[in-house]
């Protein structure tokens, strides 16, 4: 499946360019998680900074309809929490499951995060 098949067609070019920039500016936590996700030995492919609907997912497994988000401190504000709820609802309406992890989860419990993702991918 290609980006243009999952993104809003009216916003595809904008989302594609923004996703490209995001891949070049990944946070340290996103980089650490990406290094693990791309080497998973369970036969599942992940993409990073992938346009989906009107959004860009941090990481996505199209085969399992799984989106993984790594949330920094700014996700703790009431405004951002409200935006994240809308985003989650919209993406779930497309059949996706969203797993959210904090930067702290990735920094201090990376193997637990990977195990949670593997459990979802292998057993759901």
How is residue 36 written in tokens? 């693990």
| Length, in residues, of the chain | 124
Per-residue confidence (pLDDT) for residue 43, from 0 to 100: 83
Residue range(s) defining the domain that contains residue 45: 3-123
Asked whether the predicted pLDDT for residue 1 surpasses 70, the reply is no
Q: Write out the DSSP string of the chain.
A: --HHHHB-TTTHHHHHHHHHHHHHT--HHHHHHHHHHTT-SSS---EEEEEEBTEEEEEEETTTTEEEEEE-GGGGSHHHHHHHHHHHHHHHHTT-EEEEEEHHHHHH-HHHHHHHHHHHHHH-
Mean pLDDT across the stretch 104-121? 96
Q: What is the pLDDT of residues 63-109, one digit of tens each?
A: 999 999 998 877 677 788 888 999 999 999 999 999 999 999 999 99
Beta bridge partners of 53: 7
Specify the higher pLDDT residue, 52 or 13: 52
Per-residue confidence (pLDDT) for residue 68, from 0 to 100: 97
- Here the CATH number for the domain that contains residue 73 is 3.40.960.10
Per-residue confidence (pLDDT) for residue 23, from 0 to 100: 84
Q: How confident is the model at residue 114 (pLDDT cuts 50, 70, 90)?
A: very high
How many domains are there within the chain?
1
Specify the higher pLDDT residue, 49 or 19: 49
Per-residue confidence (pLDDT) for residue 76, from 0 to 100: 75
pTM of the model: 0.85
* Alpha-carbon gap, residue 61 to 39, rounded angstroms: 14
């Amino acid at each position: 499946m290609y980006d243009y098949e999952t993104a809003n067609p009216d916003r595809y070019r904008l989302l594609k360019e923004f996703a490209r920039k995001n891949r070049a500016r990944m946070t340290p936590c996103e980089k650490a998680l990406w290094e693990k996700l791309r080497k998973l030995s369970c036969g599942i492919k992940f993409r990073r900074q992938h346009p989906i609907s009107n959004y860009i997912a941090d990481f996505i497994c199209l085969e399992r309809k799984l989106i993984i988000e790594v949330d920094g401190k700014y996700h703790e504000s009431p405004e951002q929490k409200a935006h994240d709820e809308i985003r989650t609802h919209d993406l779930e309406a497309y059949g996706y499951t969203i797993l959210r992890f904090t930067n702290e989860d990735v920094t201090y419990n990376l193997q637990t995060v990977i195990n949670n993702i593997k459990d979802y991918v292998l057993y759901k």
